[in-house]
């Protein structure tokens, strides 16, 4: 982990007990804080309705065939 921190310009922290963990957190809090404002909007459109409509129409068509044309065939 130290090698990764050195290679990326980061800082390595090791907390072995609760006191050390608090020190690590306070040091992280003192580091530079930056705020990023992210505004990303996307317009989504549901695309299942045409498929659902076709599925219902095919189901209805199969039921009509089952109780009319197919029933009269020997």
Determine the 3-state secondary structure of 53 from DSSP: helix
- Please answer whether residues 67 and 60 qualify as being in contact, where contact means their C-beta atoms are separated by less than 8 angstroms: no
The per-residue pLDDT string of the chain (74 residues; one tens digit each, 9 = 90 and over) reads 889 988 988 889 888 899 999 998 998 888 877 788 888 888 888 899 999 999 999 999 999 988 887 777 66
What is the pLDDT, as a whole number, of residue 68?
A: 85
| Token pair 């006191």 in the structure block, residue | 19
H-assigned helices in the chain: 2-8, 18-30, 49-67, 69-72
What is the pLDDT, as a whole number, of residue 33?
A: 76
What is the pLDDT, as a whole number, of residue 74?
A: 64
The answer to whether the predicted template modeling score (pTM) of the entire model surpasses 0.75 is no
Cβ neighbours of residue 11 under 8 Å, at least 6 residues apart? Answer: 5
Cβ neighbours of residue 33 under 8 Å, at least 6 residues apart? Answer: none
């Amino acid at each position: 982990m130290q090698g990764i921190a050195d290679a990326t310009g980061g800082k390595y922290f090791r907390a072995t007990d609760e006191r050390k963990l608090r020190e690590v957190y306070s040091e992280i809090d003192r580091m530079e804080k930056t705020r990023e404002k992210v505004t990303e909007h996307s317009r989504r459109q549901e695309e299942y309705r045409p498929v659902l409509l076709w599925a219902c129409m095919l189901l209805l068509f199969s039921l009509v065939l089952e109780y009319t044309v197919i029933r009269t065939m020997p």
